[in-house]
C-alpha cells in the first residue's frame, strides 16, 4: 500500500474550540485547498466544514475518517478571508467553526439526515404480520414512502410507541435498513429559464403575428421566458416552432432576488455642486492614501450636518473608479435604507446590501453577488465586515461610536475594530466617521495612530442648534402637577407645531410606565425570570419584561393586598405619546421604538410620513437619534437625560454625551434654525454640560481623565468572563472555584500582577436573566496578548473541570455592554 496518505485539518461549525483531521481519499487526487467546503462524517452525522490546510501529525493508531465529498465552489472562502476569520477567532477567543458560520449567510449548510427504508425481506414480512401489529403499521408506512425513505423523527411523530428500539429490532431481523441522505441546504440559488436565439434564415415560414415575436427575439437575443410570455400571448407557439428548427434554446440561468427599497428614491436631491473646503480637504487626504495602496486609518470627526455622507460617497467612487472595491458599514437597518437609496441614485457601480432586514433568500443572493464579483460596493450592518470582497480599497464605518457594532450573542466581535484589522490585511483605507467619536478612536487619533480629519462646521454655515438645559428639580417643584414636560419645552412644542414645523421628542425607554408600586404593601411587579421590574404597556394593559418578554395582565387591585393604591411610576414612550395627545389633541403623532418597528419597512414608513408632512411630531427611543436627515425638524426635546447616565456601566457618561449630541443634531439641518431642550435631574454632570456646550474635545478631556484614573479603556484592555446557570448553588460554587484558580495563578507567578488585574467574580448588574443566574469576572490588562492568553488559560481549565456541570461560560473580549 502506498504510504502517501494525505490528511487535512477541517473547521466544523460547532461550538467547540478544536479542529478536526480527515483523510483525503486516494481517488480524489490532490487535497482540497484551504477555504474549500467539504462534507465530513462526525459521529453518525455528516457536516459541512471548511478546509484549513494540511493537518499536523496525529498520534499513531488514531482512527481518521476520510472526507466524503468536496462541495462545489459557491460558498468557499478565499485564503485571504480565511486568514481574517482565523484572526477573528484567535483575538476574540471564539471557536473558529462558529466564526466561519457567522461570516456566511444563514441556511447554506448542507447536512445529513438518516432515513429508514423497507428491505425486500421486510416486504415479505408484511404478508405474514398480523394486521393490528405495530410492526406491520410501520412497514406499511415505509412501503408507502418506498423510494424516498422516511426519517426516524417523522416516524416517532406518527406512532406513539418508542420507535427507536422497535426499529432496532426490525433492523436486526433485516426488515428495514438505514441510510444517510444529504439534506439540501434550505437556502439555495434560484435559476430561471432564458430564451437564447440564433439569427433566423429568411425562408422560415411564420405568420405575421409570429414574425412579430421572432423580430423581437432577434433584437433581444436573450430574454427570460417568463418576460417573453408576459409580452406576447403566442410566445409558447413561436418558441416551439423556433426550437424545432434549432434556432432557439432554453437556458437556465441564475437569478438574483432583488431586495426592494420602494418609496425611497423620490426624496433624493441632486448632488451638491461643490464640496465645502473642509470636505474637499478630507477627501483629498483619503484619495492620496488610496493611491499609495497602503493601510491607512482615518477618523473623520464631523459635527452633525457637516456632510460626512458626501465625503463617504466620493471617496468610495474614487476607490471604485480605481478598480477596487468598497465596504460601507452602518449601525442599523433603519439607516441602511436611507444610505442605499442615496448611493443607488448617485453611483453607477453595482452594489449589494447585507443586513438582517432581508429574507434569507435575498441575503444569500446579495452575498453571492459579492462573491462572484458582481457587486463592487457593499453596504451593510456589522456582519458585512465578513463580506467576501476580494480587492477592498476602502472600508468606511459610519457612526463608528455606535454600540450596535458590537455583537453580543453567539460570536462576540466588534465590527469597527475588525474593520481596522481587515483594512490592514488588505492594504485598504479605513475611515471611521462620527460626530461623537468613541473615546478609544479619538484617543487613537490623538496618539497619532489614526489620521484625524475634521468637518467642524455645518453645511452652508448653518448654525448648530441652540441648546438649553432644564433643571427638572426646579421645574417639578412643590405643588406643580407632575408632567413629563417642563413649561419651556411644552411652550416651544406648541409654537413649533403652530408654525407647521416638526419636532422630535426623545425618551430612552419604551412602554408606558417603568414600574407599579403598591402604596399600602410595597408590592411591585417583577419578572420571575429576570429579577427586573415589569414595564406597563398600553393599550393591552399588560406588564412586560423587556428582557424575556414575560407578560402579565394588569390587575385593578394589588395582587398581594388587594388595595386599590397600585400606582404607576416612571414613563416610557407610550405614556409620552398619550400625554402629547392630551396636550395638543389636534396634532398627529408618530412613535418609533421597538414596539412600533417590528414589521419590515416600518422605519421607512414612519420616516416617509414625516418627510411628506403627514406627521409633524415624532416620539421615540434612541432609534430617533440616529442619522436621520429631516429638513423640517426644528425642535428636539430630551425628556429624561438621566436615564442613560444612571446605568451601572463605565461608559454611561460617554453614551449620554453621544445620545444627547446626536439627537440634538437632528434639529435645524436646513435653513430653519434648530432649538434643543434637555431635561435633567442632574444638570451639573459633565456629560450634560459638555453636550450643552457642544464641546466634544472638552468632553473628551474630562472623560479620558476619568478612564485613566479608574484604569479603563483606552488605558487597559478588558475581557469579561461571564458564567450563567439556572441553579444558584452551582453558580456560586463555580464562582468560588474560579476565584480560587485565579488567585492561585497570581500567587504562582507574581509578575502577572504587574500587568494584569482581575475584578470579581461578582453578580452581573442583571443578576438574573431569562431564568439564569449571571455572574462575571472582569480582567484588565496592559497588553491584549498576555491578557487574552491568560483568560483563555483560565477558561480552558475551568471548562475542563467545571464543578457544577451545565454552567455556561461566555468570553467577551473588549466588552461593550456589561450588564
Ligand atoms: P452628516 O452625516 O455629517 O450629519 P449629511 O451628510 O447628512 O451630514 O449632510 C447634511 C446635508 O448637507 C445633506 O442634506 C446633504 O445633502 C447636504 N450637503 C452635503 N454636502 C454638501 C455640499 N457640499 N453642498 C451642499 N449641500 C451639502
Ligand atoms: Zn399591596
Ligand atoms: Zn424577564
> 537 CA to middle of ligand 2, Å?
20
Cell 500500500 sits on residue: 1
Q: Alpha helix (H) ranges present in 116-162?
A: 120-128, 134-144, 152-158
Q: Report the C-alpha gap between 607 and 627 in whole angstroms.
A: 12
Rounded to an integer, the average pLDDT of 95-121 is 80
Residue partners of 148: CB distance under 8 A and separation at least 6: 115
| Residue 459, ligand 1, Cβ within 6 A | yes
On the question of pLDDT at 688 being above 50, the answer is yes
SS3 639: coil
> 266 CA to middle of ligand 3, Å?
43
| Residue 365, ligand 1, Cβ within 6 A | no
Residue partners of 512: CB distance under 8 A and separation at least 6: 535, 536, 537, 538, 568, 571, 572, 574, 575, 578
What are the pLDDT digits (tens) for 670-684? 888 899 999 998 899
> Measuring from atom 17 of ligand 1, which residue has the nearest CA?
307
459 DSSP assignment: G
| pLDDT at residue number 786 | 95
Q: Report the C-alpha gap between 570 and 127 in whole angstroms.
A: 74
Count H helices, E strands: the chain? 26, 33
On the question of pLDDT at 140 being above 80, the answer is yes
* pLDDT averaged over every residue in the chain: 86
What are the pLDDT digits (tens) for 514-561? 778 887 887 888 888 777 778 888 778 888 887 777 888 888 888 888
What are the pLDDT digits (tens) for 203-224? 677 788 888 888 888 777 777 7
Q: Of 742, 774, 734, which Cα lies nearest the Cα of 758?
A: 742
Burial class (CB in 10 A: 0-12, 13-18, 19+), 242: buried
On the question of pLDDT at 479 being above 60, the answer is no
| Residue 307, ligand 1, Cβ within 6 A | yes
Chain CA centroid to CA 599, Å: 17
> 766 CA to middle of ligand 2, Å?
25
pLDDT band at 334 (very low <50, low <70, confident <90, very high): low
pTM above the 0.85 mark? no
Report percent pLDDT > 70 for the chain: 92
| Residue 275, ligand 1, Cβ within 6 A | yes
On the question of pLDDT at 803 being above 80, the answer is no
* Mutation test residue for ligand 1: of 309, 328, 342, the one with most atoms within 8 Å of CB: 309
Task: Kindly list the strands in the beta sheet with 190-197, ordered across the sheet, starting from the edge strand earlier in the chain.
Answer: 222-224, 190-197, 248-255
| Residue 776, ligand 1, Cβ within 6 A | no
Cell matching residue 266: 423620490
Contact call for residues 571 and 580 (beta carbons, < 8 A) = no
pLDDT band at 180 (very low <50, low <70, confident <90, very high): low
**Cβ count within 10 A of residue 269:** 8
Contact call for residues 234 and 203 (beta carbons, < 8 A) = no
Write out the DSSP string of 157-209: HH--S-HHHHHHHHHHTTSEEEEEEEEPPSS--EEEEEEEE-PPPTT----HH
On the question of pLDDT at 389 being above 90, the answer is yes
Rounded to an integer, the average pLDDT of 761-769 is 85
> Measuring from atom 14 of ligand 1, which residue has the nearest CA?
629
CA 371 to each of CA 103, 376, 555: distance values in angstroms, whole numbers, following the listed order? 12, 10, 56
Cell 452594489 sits on residue: 351
> 771 CA to middle of ligand 3, Å?
8
Q: Which residues surround ligand 3, an ion (CB under 5 A)?
A: 527, 529-530, 545, 547-548, 550
Contact call for residues 798 and 741 (beta carbons, < 8 A) = yes
Q: Of 544, 592, 572, which Cα lies nearest the Cα of 484?
A: 572
Antiparallel, parallel or unpaired: β 633-638 and 222-224? unpaired
SS3 288: helix
> 528 CA to middle of ligand 3, Å?
7
> 260 CA to middle of ligand 1, Å?
25
Q: Of 572, 555, 573, which Cα lies nearest the Cα of 564?
A: 555
Q: From the CA of 771, which ligand is nearest?
A: 3
Q: Is 246 left (phi over 0), alpha (psi -120 to 50) or beta?
A: left
Contact call for residues 74 and 371 (beta carbons, < 8 A) = yes
| Residue 625, ligand 1, Cβ within 6 A | no
Q: From the CA of 526, which ligand is nearest?
A: 3
> 493 CA to middle of ligand 3, Å?
36
Q: How many CA atoms lie within 13 A of 110 on its CB side?
A: 21
Report percent pLDDT > 90 for the chain: 42
pLDDT band at 183 (very low <50, low <70, confident <90, very high): low
Q: Report the C-alpha gap between 594 and 622 in whole angstroms.
A: 10
Least confident piece of the model among 90-99, 158-167, 760-769: 158-167
Amino acid at each position: 500500500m502506498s504510504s502517501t496518505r494525505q490528511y487535512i485539518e477541517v473547521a466544523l461549525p460547532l461550538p467547540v474550540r478544536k479542529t478536526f483531521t480527515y483523510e483525503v481519499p486516494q481517488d480524489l487526487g490532490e487535497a482540497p485547498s484551504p477555504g474549500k467546503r467539504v462534507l465530513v462524517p462526525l459521529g453518525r452525522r455528516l457536516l459541512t466544514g471548511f478546509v484549513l490546510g494540511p493537518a499536523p501529525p496525529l498520534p499513531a493508531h488514531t482512527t481518521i475518517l476520510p472526507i466524503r465529498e468536496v462541495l462545489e465552489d459557491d460558498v468557499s472562502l478565499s485564503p485571504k478571508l480565511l486568514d481574517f476569520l482565523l484572526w477573528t477567532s484567535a483575538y476574540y477567543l471564539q471557536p473558529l467553526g462558529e466564526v466561519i458560520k457567522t461570516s456566511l449567510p444563514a441556511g447554506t449548510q448542507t447536512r445529513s439526515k438518516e432515513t429508514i427504508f423497507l428491505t425486500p425481506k421486510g416486504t415479505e414480512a408484511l404478508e405474514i404480520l398480523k394486521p393490528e401489529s405495530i410492526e406491520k403499521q410501520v412497514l406499511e408506512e415505509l412501503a408507502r414512502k418506498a423510494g424516498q425513505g422516511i426519517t426516524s423523527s417523522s416516524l416517532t411523530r406518527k406512532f406513539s410507541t418508542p420507535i427507536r428500539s422497535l426499529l432496532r429490532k426490525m433492523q436486526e431481523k433485516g426488515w428495514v435498513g438505514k441510510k444517510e441522505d444529504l439534506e439540501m441546504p434550505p437556502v439555495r440559488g434560484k435559476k430561471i429559464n432564458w430564451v437564447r436565439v440564433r439569427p433566423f434564415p429568411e425562408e422560415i415560414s411564420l405568420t405575421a403575428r409570429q414574425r412579430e415575436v421572432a423580430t423581437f427575439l432577434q433584437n433581444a437575443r436573450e430574454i427570460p421566458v417568463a418576460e417573453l410570455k408576459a409580452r406576447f400571448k403566442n410566445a409558447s407557439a413561436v418558441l416551439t416552432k423556433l426550437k424545432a428548427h434549432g434556432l432557439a434554446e432554453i437556458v437556465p440561468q441564475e437569478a438574483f432576488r432583488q431586495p426592494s427599497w420602494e418609496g425611497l428614491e423620490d426624496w433624493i436631491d441632486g448632488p451638491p455642486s461643490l464640496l465645502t473646503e473642509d470636505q474637499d480637504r478630507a477627501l483629498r487626504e483619503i484619495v492620496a492614501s488610496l493611491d499609495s495602496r497602503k493601510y491607512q486609518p482615518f477618523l473623520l470627526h464631523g459635527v452633525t450636518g457637516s456632510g460626512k455622507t458626501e465625503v463617504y460617497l466620493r471617496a468610495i467612487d474614487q476607490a471604485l473608479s480605481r478598480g477596487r472595491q468598497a465596504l460601507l458599514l452602518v449601525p442599523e437597518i433603519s439607516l441602511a435604507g436611507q444610505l442605499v437609496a442615496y448611493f443607488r441614485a448617485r453611483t453607477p457601480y453595482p452594489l449589494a446590501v447585507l443586513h438582517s432586514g432581508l429574507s434569507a433568500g435575498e441575503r444569500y443572493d446579495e452575498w453571492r453577488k459579492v462573491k462572484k464579483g458582481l457587486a463592487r460596493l457593499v453596504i451593510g450592518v456589522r456582519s458585512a465586515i465578513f463580506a467576501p470582497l476580494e480587492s477592498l480599497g476602502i472600508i468606511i464605518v459610519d457612526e463608528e461610536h455606535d454600540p450596535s457594532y458590537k455583537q453580543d450573542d453567539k460570536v462576540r466581535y466588534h465590527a469597527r475594530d475588525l474593520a481596522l484589522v481587515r483594512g490592514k490585511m488588505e492594504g485598504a483605507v479605513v475611515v471611521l466617521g462620527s460626530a461623537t467619536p468613541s473615546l478609544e478612536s479619538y484617543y487613537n487619533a490623538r496618539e497619532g495612530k489614526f489620521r484625524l480629519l475634521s468637518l467642524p462646521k455645518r453645511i452652508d454655515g448653518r448654525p448648530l442648534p441652540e441648546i438649553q438645559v432644564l433643571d427638572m428639580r426646579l421645574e417639578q417643584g412643590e405643588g406643580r402637577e407632575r408632567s413629563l414636560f417642563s413649561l419651556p419645552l411644552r411652550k416651544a412644542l406648541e409654537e413649533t407645531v403652530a408654525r407647521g414645523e416638526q419636532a422630535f421628542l426623545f425618551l430612552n425607554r419604551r412602554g408606558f410606565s417603568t414600574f407599579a408600586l403598591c402604596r399600602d404593601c410595597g408590592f411591585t411587579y417583577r419578572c420571575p425570570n429576570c429579577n427586573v421590574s415589569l414595564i406597563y404597556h398600553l393599550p393591552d394593559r399588560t406588564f412586560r419584561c423587556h428582557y424575556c418578554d414575560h407578560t402579565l395582565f394588569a390587575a385593578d387591585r394589588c395582587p398581594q393586598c388587594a388595595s386599590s393604591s397600585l400606582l404607576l411610576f416612571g414613563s416610557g414612550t407610550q405614556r409620552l405619546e398619550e400625554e402629547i395627545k392630551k396636550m395638543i389633541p389636534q396634532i398627529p403623532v408618530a412613535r418609533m421604538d421597538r414596539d412600533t418597528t417590528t414589521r419590515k419597512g416600518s422605519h421607512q414608513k414612519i420616516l416617509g410620513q414625516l418627510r411628506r408632512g403627514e406627521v409633524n411630531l415624532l416620539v421615540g427611543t434612541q432609534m430617533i437619534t440616529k442619522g436621520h436627515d429631516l429638513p423640517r425638524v426644528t425642535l428636539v426635546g430630551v425628556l429624561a437625560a438621566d436615564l442613560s447616565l444612571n446605568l451601572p456601566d463605565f461608559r454611561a457618561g460617554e453614551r449620554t454625551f453621544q445620545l444627547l449630541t446626536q439627537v440634538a443634531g437632528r434639529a435645524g439641518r436646513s435653513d430653519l434654525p434648530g432649538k434643543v431642550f434637555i431635561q435633567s435631574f442632574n444638570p451639573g454632570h459633565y456629560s450634560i454640560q459638555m453636550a450643552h456646550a457642544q464641546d466634544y474635545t472638552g468632553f473628551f478631556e474630562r472623560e479620558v481623565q476619568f478612564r485613566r484614573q479608574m484604569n479603563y479603556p483606552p488605558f487597559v484592555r478588558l475581557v469579561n468572563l461571564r458564567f450563567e446557570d439556572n441553579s444558584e448553588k452551582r453558580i456560586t460554587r463555580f464562582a468560588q472555584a474560579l476565584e480560587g484558580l485565579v488567585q492561585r495563578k497570581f500567587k504562582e507567578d507574581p509578575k502577572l500582577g504587574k500587568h494584569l488585574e482581575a475584578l470579581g467574580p461578582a453578580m452581573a448588574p442583571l443578576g438574573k436573566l431569562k431564568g439564569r443566574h449571571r455572574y462575571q469576572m472582569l480582567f484588565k490588562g496592559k497588553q491584549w496578548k498576555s491578557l487574552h492568553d491568560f483568560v483563555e488559560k483560565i477558561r480552558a481549565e475551568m471548562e475542563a473541570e467545571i464543578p457544577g456541570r451545565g454552567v455556561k461560560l461566555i468570553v467577551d473580549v473588549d466588552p461593550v455592554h456589561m450588564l
